[in-house]
Amino acid sequence: MIDIKVGALTCEYRTNPLGIDIKKPRISWKFQSDRRGTLQTAYQIQVSPNQENFTEILWDTGVVLSDESIHIEYSGPELNPRTRYFYRVKIWDNFDRESNWSETAWWETGLLDPEEWQAEWITPEPKEIDPLTESIFLLRKEFTLKTGISSARIYGTGVGLYELFLNGDRVSDELLAPGWTSYHKRLQYQTYDVTAQLQDGSNAIGIMLADGWYKGNLVRENNRNIYGDRRAAFFQIHVTYNDGTEDVIVTDTTWKASTGPILFSEIYHGETYDARLEQEGWSQTDYNDVDWADTIIQEMPITQLVAQENVPTRVTEVLKPIDSFVTPSGDTVIDMGQNMVGRIRFKVSAPKGTRIVLKHAEVLDKDGNIYFGNLKFAKQKVEYITKGSGAENFAPHFTFQGFRYVKVEGYPGQEKGLPLENFVGEVVHSDMEPAGEFECSNPLVNRLHQNIVWGQRGNFLDVPTDCPQRSERLGWTADAQVFIQTALFNYHGGSFFTKWLRDLKADQLPDGNVPFVIPNVEGGVGSAAWGDAATIIPWTVYQTYGDKRLLLEQYDSMKAWVEYIRRQGKNEYLWNTGFHFGDWLALDAKENSFVGATPKDLIATVFYAYSTRILRDAAEVLGKFDEVQVYSDLLNNIIDQFNHEFVSPSGRLVSPTQTAHIITLMFDMVEGKAKERTAHELNELIIQNDYHLNTGFVGTPYICFALSKGGYHETAVKLLMKEDYPSWLYQIKKGATTVWEHWDSIKPDGSFWSDQMNSLNHYAYGSIGNWMYKVVAGLDMDAASPAYKRIKIEPKFAGISFTHAKASYESMYGKIRSSWHLTQDEVEIEVEIPANTTAEILLPNARLSEVREGNQPLISGNIPAYSESKEGVRLTVGSGSYHFKYHNERGLKPVFTEGTKLIDFLDYPEAVAILEKASPGITKPPRIFSTKARSLKELVELQETNLTSDKVKAIIEELKKLNDKEVLLKL
């Protein structure tokens, strides 16, 4: 029996985090209730260094009268380093109920101050091992422990990437540690609990050390050693015994070094592994390392070691290949069935010295051959040379590939067919917890949602990269900011973006300018919509998780960016100077240009206003009321200048592009009749373009929002549902399993966009997901109550393009669900609201007298707060599950009378088939309905149509043959 039960305890977004360096960690929890409308009225937290019945209480809040249940800051005595703290929570609710104590959770501190480090940075003696060798370093040390080990932790890091071994076994399943940060300013260290892996007496530790992002090839060919030209390791082991004594083993010059079987490993290029060079037992005791090299102390330009902030990178899923085949060019190729990011693991038994080569690519060309052209100079090649001693199992260590197809060379017997059971694809990305789900009645849209999620998985690999396959894979700021809301719906990204934002702040220039990519290895600064990541992302994280501490931490960075813009040019209220990417990759660009037709200064000024609005709102949240007034005034002046510069006295935008209208509407740059006109003209621009977009990175994320918000939701849906180029579903029809960089990455004739820049896994245009979740499924929050404390459920139906849609999201308070289903006669809406939140629900087109909830009339009193308007019925509810039904006023069936708008008929799934049958050769319904005709009768009468009356009559006859249950004709 539930009653009320507290659970899902987290500390700094994580369950039982190990080795954190936050001195005042924050606690969050969720709770379940068996009663609707449950709110927390008070809580109590206890923290103890002793798990057993909390016999020793370090901090007790007592009963705190508050409904807060997220990010409650520890305020007890100062925490000790390397100490585990246990905590539990109980709550009281608005029904005067007191919960039991929650299950006990914990956090454990790492090294809280630099003085606690005893280790030295070590690297092989350069006189014995070339420090610039491509071969991976092996480092090892043996040590002896006493009996009675109580606990043991390893704290440490490396540059570039490392894997850690104890007594012959991997210490962790984490990959690509320590991750990628602005290394000269911040370097993460990791903590591992190795109590179970150590033994009394002799032990051995081993470290593999690779170039990684630190000194490997990045950005351009032969561009290496960006952060440094020496690999090094920095570790210490703390072993505590039952008697309270401790041993500490650190990296120092007593360690030994060698190279091993990994001859080469690079982020872009792959890995070469010669199993004949394996040094069996090298990380175990009693290994003879007499011929190994010495190590030396390496001075490192690392200014700050920080405990792991992001979730680790891991293998999160294993895929089996769906096929193997020989291409027309004679290549043997494996098809994974999904454009994925990670690595291939394979098994093989072959004679010693057999060389197996895997070359990874995303797609086949129109002739069916594997296509490597879009990789630029990235090789994405893995080579394995067998040792010839039976079954061998291999996956690369310090690299990752973006691919669906794998060309295989040298595998024994492959000419007779590859044994697919010996190959698997290991999906690799930051191991974020899934948060949201979406599904609707259209299978192509469902596939689009899956592609969006796969694109995020492939590109959220420690940093939010633009693409995972070619020689780039950088943290482009615009890609991250346009996708941030979609990203945080799909996965819990609080810790992911906390880490990345700290790097943004670290790499921001003294004048407030923000580089193009974070971490900054590309250079370039100041572009609108790119640098605005400095404001948009921390604000979105705050809205999603209520993380006021991160907002405060980033506030100076946000302010510096806005003030940087303010200093540009002669007019402090316009941004009309400097370099800008503009509406990148928009289809209205001039020939041989990547930049769309929307004026760059218009885009820049809109984003200037957007960042200023965010800064003002952040100042208000943080209680910086003097600055609220400053930035309110600045915002008003920017909007005034925008209207003076870019809007005519009659309310017309100076730029007739889709993107200009989209961002003007989305960011509230116009009001009144000018706003109505802008929305109307945007709608016309879409219709005139046959319901296709021509937007790029700046306009696309907001296009459907702008249409729905402006009163043209039907147009937004038609835009989404287009299946021909350019559209989201065109990609699906072309076989895409991730989102493309270009609308025509693969052209209708099967040829490709230029090899210069053509990623088939580029999540920016996947930002449409945010609209699908919030508008189609209707799951959103009240912006004034962050973290979904107050929820908005407001689905927008769209003709008969969808018969159902549903979304769910695991918020900081618990699961939210919005689901709707339409039949010819009935609307059914199901909603789930978590405890300690409230929701406002709109039942579109409903009438109070007809709505039933849980088989009871709504007006019977089960829900006390409701009202009826022209939009429908609006309700205010508390937590619980709700099931509404009411008459489908609008209906699913298109009813053709003399006044029926023909454009509505296009929503009908069988429309195209009917038209083609009636008049062969007609494949685009808009050709028929592009006349002034508003009804079938008018269509017959109008002479302007490009169809003859006979063809129209044939169409009508086909319509009449339809089953009455599907369509009702009144002619």
| Active site residues per annotation | 472, 741
- The answer to whether the beta carbons of residues 150 and 242 sit under 8 Å apart is yes
Question: Which 3 state secondary structure label does DSSP give 102?
Answer: coil
The rounded Cα 708 to chain-centroid distance in angstroms is 24
Burial readout 385-402 (b: 16 or more C-beta within 10 A, e: otherwise): bbbeeeebebbbbbbbbb
Contact predicate 394/382, CB 8 Å: no
The pairing of strands 169-170 and 355-361 is: unpaired
Decide: 913 and 868 in contact? Cβ < 8 Å: no
Q: Checking DSSP bridges between strand 872-877 and strand 815-822, what pairing results, if any? A: unpaired
Q: How far apart are CA 475 and CA 484, in angstroms?
A: 13
Q: How far apart are CA 11 and CA 13, in angstroms?
A: 5
User: Which residues is 33 bridged to in the sheet?
Assistant: 4
Structure tokens at 530: 């790119």
CB atoms within 10 A of CB 96: 7
Backbone torsion region of residue 861, taken as left when φ is above 0, otherwise alpha when ψ lies between -120 and 50, otherwise beta = left
**In 3-state terms, the chain is what percent helix, strand and coil (to 5)?**
25, 30, 45
What CA–CA distance (Å, rounded) separates 598 from 582?
7
Q: Determine if the peptide bond prior to 160 is cis (ω within 30°).
A: yes
* CA neighbor of 446 nearest in space, from 720, 669, 218, 245: 720
Q: Distance from first CA to last CA of the chain, Å, rounded?
A: 60
| Residues 6 or more apart in contact with residue 67 via CB below 8 angstroms | 39, 40, 41, 836
682, 651 contact by CB (below 8 A): no
| Cβ–Cβ under 8 Å, residues 925 and 915 | yes
Q: Alpha-carbon dihedral of residues 34, 35, 39, 43, nearest 10 degrees? A: -40
Q: Please tell me the distance from the alpha carbon of residue 724 to that of residue 731, in angstroms, as a whole number.
A: 9
Here the tokens at position 65 are 């009268």
Give the whole-angstrom CA distance, residue 393 versus residue 385. 12
φ and ψ of 652, to 5 deg: -95, 135
User: Contact at 8 Å (CB) between 425 and 316?
Assistant: no
Phi, psi for residue 358 in degrees, rounded to 5: -115, 130
Phi, psi at 20, each rounded to 5°: -90, 155
Distance (Å, whole) CA 688 – CA 655? 16
Identity at 426, one-letter amino acid code: E
| Cross-strand bridge partners of residue 342 | 401, 427
**Residue at token pair 């999603």:** 544
Cα 114 to Cα 879: distance, rounded to the nearest angstrom: 47
Cα 299 to Cα 190: distance, rounded to the nearest angstrom? 20
Cβ-based neighbours of 242, under 8 Å, separated by 6 or more: 148, 149, 150
Confirm if 721 and 729 have CB atoms less than 8 A apart: yes
Q: How many CA atoms lie within 13 A of 100 on its CB side?
A: 8
Residue type (1 letter), 186: R
Q: What is the dihedral of CA 51, 53, 54, 60, to 10 degrees?
A: 130
Query: Residue type for 555, please?
Result: Y
